[in-house]
Amino acid sequence: MSLGINYRYFLIQRFRFILVLCTGFNLAFIATENFGAEKKLYDLVIYGPTSAGIAAAVQAQRMGLDVIVTGPDTHLGGLSAGGLGWTDSGNKEVIGGIALEFYKRIYAYYDKPETWTWQTRTSYGKRGRGTQARDGHGRAMWVFEPHVAEQVFENLIHDHMIPIDRNQWLDRS
C-alpha cells in the first residue's frame, strides 16, 4: 500500500506549520537552575521527552532550528521506553521518517551477537524481527525491550547534539 503524494505533502506542510507556530512565539528557556546564569534562547522548546517529542526535536534540528527538550521525566521515550515494546505490528508500509529510523536502530542493536544474553537469536526466531524496511534500504525490527528503546532515543539526542533538561516541572501556581 502506498500513501498518495498529496497526503505526504499534507503531512510535511502540517509539520512545518506546527514548527512555525511554535517558533513564532519566540520561546525563551532557562537551561540551568541557577537564576544568575545567562539565559539561552531557543527557536523551539519541546516539553515532554516522549517518542514524539524526540522525533520532533530531531526533525527541528535537521531543519536548522535551535531546539531543546525538557520535561518532568528523567527517562527518554515515553511509552516506547516505558514498556510498550510490541509496537506498530500492523501495516509496516505506513511507517517512515524518523519512526522508521528508530526501528532500523532497534534492528542494528539486536543484530549484535552480544545482545542476546537471555536467549539465543535462533530461539527467538523472526518474531517482529528482520523484515525488510519499507524504503527498501536496511532492515527494521518492530519488537524491542524498553531499555533498548530508551538507549536508541538517547543516541538520537546525542547524535544530533540536542540539549535535554530533565526533571523540569511546570510551575502551576
pLDDT in tens, 19-59: 544 444 444 443 444 555 668 899 999 999 999 999 999 99
Q: Extract the C-alpha cell encoding 62.
A: 535537521
Which amino acid belongs to residue 162? I
CB-side neighbour CA atoms (13 Å) of 23: 19
d(C-alpha 144, C-alpha 149), whole Å: 7
Q: What is the pLDDT of residue 144?
A: 85
For 141-172, what is each residue's pLDDT tens digit? 888 889 999 999 999 999 999 999 999 998 88
Give the up-direction half-sphere exposure of residue 53: CA atoms within 13 A in the CB hemisphere: 24
In this structure, the number of other CB atoms found within 10 A of the CB of residue 5 comes to 8
Enumerate the β-bridge partners of residue 50.
Answer: 77
Measured CA to CA, the distance from residue 10 to residue 148 in angstroms comes to 32
pLDDT at 1 (0 to 100): 47
pLDDT exceeds cutoff 90 at 4:
no
67-118 pLDDT, tens digit each: 999 999 989 998 888 887 776 567 777 888 999 899 899 989 988 888 888 8
Could you tell me if 122 and 29 are in contact, meaning their C-beta atoms sit under 8 angstroms apart? Answer: no
H or E stretch at 83: none
Q: Are 15 and 147 in contact (CB under 8 A)?
A: no
Give the pLDDT of residue 59: 96
Q: Which residue's entry shows cell 498529496?
A: 6
